[in-house]
Chain A
Amino acid sequence: MQFNSVDFLIFFPIVVGIYFIIPKKLKYLWLLVASYYFYMCWNAKYALLIAFSTIVTYFAGLFLEKTEDRKKKNLVVAGSFIVNLGILGFFKYFHFLFDNLSGIFSLFGIRLVEPAVDVLLPVGISFYTFQALGYTIDVYRKDIKAEKNFFRYALFVSFFPQLVAGPIERSKNLLGQIDAMGEKRLWDYQKIVSGFGLMIWGMFQKVVVADRCAIFVDAVHENLFAAGTVETVAAAILFSIQIYCDFAGYSAVAIGAARVMGFSLMENFNTPYFATSIQDFWRRWHISLSTWFRDYLYIPLGGSRCSKAKKYRNIMITFLASGLWHGASWTFVIWGGIHGGFQIVGDLLRPIKEKVNKALRVKTEAFSYTLGQMIITYGLTTFAWIFFRAKTWDQLTLYFNRMFTKFNPWILFGGGLDYLQINRDDVKIVVVFLGILLLGEIVRYVKKVDLGEYLWQQNLWFRIGVFVVLILIILVYGEYGIHFDSGKFIYFDF
């Protein structure tokens, strides 16, 4: 069940309605049932995986709290990691590993026969696995106490708004809220309104902006043989918007849906394309994942409190792992590596940059300087997205070939882009909606609150007007319904 489906449109009000009516003691059980139903709508069998992961990490948590024996604790943590990452690895990286091993063995003349295993990636497995593992480490570090109530813990792992594409919640935040469900007042008009507003904004980002950008991006990728610099650059820019709106849109709906029910999920995106450096970008992009890697990988590796060489090694390991987390393909790994490389190069060049700024008397506090930094950062991240979007190595090389060897500005004039079969009205619509998106981003950047909160702060008539207009835009200009099958959120695959 996707957020942008009729099923969710029916499911969510029913779940919320019953949630508010039933006694407090039953609320978490109801949400647990609803969450499993939500997940089983994709594939009922895979609910067993999430249940298994839940059981393993639940008992690991209990054991970790009981024992003080460091060796045993390490053993339990390692066991939990092996089991969970083993499941993730099997379902997500089986074919990738086999293909690579097969390639290596073929160098020695050995041909491996691929076992007849039909491995389908269970939706959201990377997200809930990381969430559950995060809990294990938190208990191990004694940051939190182990959850005694199995069903509450099961709800923490499977909470439906963020189950399939995050944000990857921390046990300290979400588990605490689940535990407090019986005590605090959950019906909060302000939260309902701002959560609803955020959900609408998220749907606008996904159904209108991301999916409309996808039409152009897909058309260019399908016609790459004919494309030139103009199309490939435009497709790269639009893909950067597509993937942002796709994922940030999902996160906004997830956070908004949880907020309607009185939960506060962690922020996942904070105007990433207004970042002034790659480091800043990762403070704003997929915050729940980047902080997960920071807390549970980068810092345990030594973080930045070590020699420069080790620090760069830690950065590289973290980003390569992040790349691999996104997908079982070398293009994802390279994408991660590029981001790691950007950070390292940025760090190495910092003294030179400062000297140059000083010598040229650049006003670093001026807006123009910040804008320049934003544009450069955006350019770098957009370049890296090309690796992310490419499905194969051949496609990637062809893309760069077209981008750098076929400069064709004339294509912009006289219907030169008609071969992509894109309706010109669609192009105008995309431009208008990108304007609305930019407006939303500026509000978020300046006011430092999400759109839902911002709208709550406005007058009733304005808020209602915005809600109505956005809903109308989603219903009329959104990409959904018959003939449309690319409406799946990109991040479900991760």
Chain B
Amino acid sequence: MKGFWKEHWKNCIRICAFLLLLGLVLHRAYQVLCWKDTTGDYLSSLSQLYHTPENTMDVVFMGSSHCYCGVYPAFLWRDRGIAAFDMSVSGQDRASTYHMLLETLKTQAPKVVLVDCYGLLFDRNLLEGNVYRNMLSMKTSKNSIELVKEYVEPEDQMDYLLRWPVIHTRFWEIGKYDFIQYEPSIYGRGAFFSWHESEFEDAGAVEVKASGDLTEENAAWLDRLIALSKEKGFALEFFVIPFRITEEEQMQINAAKEYLAERNVPMLDLNQCREEMKLDPKKDFMDDKHCNAMGAEKVTAYLRDYLLGRYKLSDHRGDEAYSCWDQDLEWYLHCEMKQKISEAESPEEQLECILNQKDLITVISVEGTTEQTEFLNPLGLNKEDVIAGGKWILRDGTLVKIMENDEGAEPYTEDLNATDALRIQYLGEGVGSNVQINYVKFVSPYYPITIVCYDALLKETILAIHL
């Protein structure tokens, strides 16, 4: 053996160098290709969990899309400083719920865990994407391996365990956020914000009182979670987030409620509290299964009062360790502002939405003559400024003139962040407003006033007005 090393040590170093380089390259490639999307838009509640400081969560909501659409931890934080988190993934089935709770408990010690009962109503995900979301989002560990073994068919298990055989097909869809971290996937608290509305006449079969049969699998799942709560010492509750329920589903929920009652485990069927919450099926849902932000506001408020009535939950606002919750709320407010801008009926209303908001970069361009001199007053421009024309940037309440309308002036450029850049220039009268963010030109040769507002938090242009 000694002779072998003496003869081949150089070759061994070469092989090691090759393996090292290969390992580094594959590691980076994996980072790019790995599954990131749990609720769409590169949001991942597991990524958010992994970025949360240890032992900061007081309340954890487990569940599927019903959960992340119906419960906004940002509201609990805004109203009472409750550190809550939606550990929810689209199509979170029974096995995924259990193992994701285990994953959460590795770093968190919540006082109470509320588990959405929707997991009782389906066995396997019909959407393949949901299987990926649940099987591929977790860091590889004994827990993630057990989840795959429990859920995935034996012939596919190796593919899910190695992950490459599944995720390599993402090469055709990779985008910017596969290379750089999507920040809400760090500080988001699991919720998915949506203001989309769908009208429904009724709430479905919420009046059904009869119980169906609780399947062995469902009973085993409930028992498994109860046992875990006893083992780990957290309060366990089950809940149903309002959705348009069928008769059969309501009967299954009723059966689960009876089963849990026998075991002294609370279950809160929020479908039965619709009136109390003042839920409006015509306004508070994005589709028949999911609440929108208006519905989530009502559901979360109800849960807030319910939880505060049963548990002693501290107000963590102002605590540095809880900055994720502050950022999450800030993110919500920016999304809400963007929504309000999209709903505004006039440029004046749109402009009002962005006034006095943080993390906005507003570019104002005035070229040629305009009679709308008062329109820009709220932004800090007076009549003389508007008549003189030029380009301004408004940032955190401070208005700075960047350039005159001078054809000889050098273009103004600024990196808004690592990926987005702004250019402002003047090419002559009637050519256009010449405000450009990345490759998008905000050109309007027919209007003298252009206002472009870039949201530094959302990293996108939220407003473009031509007047």
Contacts and interface: CB of A to CB of B under 8 A. Distances in A.
Give the interface SS of chain A, mostly helix, strand, loop or mixed: helix
B15 to A, nearest CB: 9
Interface in A448-467: 460, 464, 467
Interface in A412-463: 423, 425-426, 460
Given A6-B158, A476-B29, A481 B22 contact: no
Contacts of B158: 6
Contact of B165 (A189, A467, A472, A482): A482
A476 B159 contact: no
Contact of A480 (B22, B25, B156, B165): B165
A464 B169 CA distance: 25
B161 to A, nearest CB: 9
B21 A481 contact: no
Nearest to B132: A482
Interface string B141-171: 0000000000000001011101011101101
A472 B11 contact: no
Contacts of B333: none
Contacts of A468: 18, 21-22, 25
Contact of A482 (B14, B26, B166): B166
Contact of A475 (B8, B156, B166, B168): B168
Contacts of B164: 475, 481
A475 B169 contact: no
B456 to A, nearest CB: 32
A438 to B, nearest CB: 22
Contacts of A494: none
Of listed A423, A425, A464, A481, residue having the most chain B CB within 10 A: A481
B18 A467 contact: yes
B159 A189 contact: no
A471 interface: yes
B168 A460 contact: no
Contacts of B168: 475-478, 480-481
B229 to A, nearest CB: 35
Interface string B1-17: 00010001001001001
B33 interface: yes
Of listed A187, A472, A478, A482, residue having the most chain B CB within 10 A: A482
A147 to B, nearest CB: 31
A464 B29 CA distance: 17
Contacts of A478: 168
B25 A464 contact: no
B29 A472 contact: yes
B26 A481 contact: no
B29 A475 contact: yes
A6 B158 CA distance: 8
B172 interface: yes
Given A472-B26, A476-B168, A477-B171, A464 B159 contact: no
A6 B159 CA distance: 9
Contacts of B166: 481-482
A98 B169 CA distance: 44
A257 B159 CA distance: 24
B172 A423 contact: yes
Interface string A184-197: 00010100000000
A464 B8 contact: no
Contacts of B21: 464, 468
A482 B172 CA distance: 16
A476 B22 contact: no
Given A6-B162, A482-B156, A426 B172 contact: yes
A425 B172 contact: yes
A464 B26 contact: no
Interface string B317-360: 00000000000000000000000000000000000000000000
A155 to B, nearest CB: 25
Contacts of B14: 460, 464
A468 B159 CA distance: 22
Given A6-B158, A481-B159, A472 B25 contact: yes
B198 to A, nearest CB: 31
Interface string A128-157: 000000000000000000000000000000
Nearest to B32: A476
Interface in A171-194: 187, 189
Interface string B24-39: 0110010001000000
Interface in B84-139: none
A426 B171 CA distance: 10
Contacts of B17: 464
Contacts of B159: 6, 481-482
Contacts of A467: 18, 22
A413 B4 CA distance: 62
Contacts of B169: 481, 483
Contacts of A481: 159, 164-166, 168-169
Contacts of B162: 6
B278 to A, nearest CB: 46
A67 B226 CA distance: 81
Contact of B171 (A460, A476, A480): A476
Contacts of A471: 22, 26
A63 to B, nearest CB: 44
Of listed B21, B25, B162, B169, residue having the most chain A CB within 10 A: B169
A189 B33 contact: no
A476 B8 contact: no
Interface string B164-206: 1110110110000000000000000000000000000000000
A45 B25 CA distance: 42
Nearest to B30: A475
Contacts of B33: 476
A476 B170 CA distance: 9
Nearest to B33: A476
A189 B11 contact: yes
Nearest to A464: B18
Of listed B21, B156, B168, residue having the most chain A CB within 10 A: B168
B136 to A, nearest CB: 11
A460 B10 CA distance: 12
Nearest to A474: B168
Contacts of B25: 468, 472
Nearest to B12: A189
B160 to A, nearest CB: 8
A483 B156 CA distance: 10
A471 B30 CA distance: 13
A266 to B, nearest CB: 27
B12 to A, nearest CB: 10
A467 to B, nearest CB: 7
Contacts of B171: 476-477
A423 to B, nearest CB: 6
Nearest to A190: B11
Contacts of A482: 156, 159-160, 165-166
B317 to A, nearest CB: 45
18 contacts: A6-B159, A187-B4, A187-B8, A426-B172, A464-B17, A464-B21, A467-B18, A467-B22, A468-B18, A468-B21, A472-B25, A472-B26, A475-B26, A475-B168, A477-B168, A480-B165, A481-B165, A482-B166
Enumerate the 9 nearest inter-chain pairs by beta-carbon distance, A residue then B residue, closest first. Answer: A481-B165, A425-B172, A189-B11, A482-B159, A464-B18, A481-B159, A476-B168, A476-B171, A6-B158
Given A426-B172, A472-B26, 18 more contacts: A189-B8, A423-B172, A467-B22, A468-B22, A471-B26, A475-B26, A475-B29, A476-B29, A476-B33, A476-B171, A477-B168, A481-B159, A481-B168, A481-B169, A482-B156, A482-B160, A482-B165, A482-B166
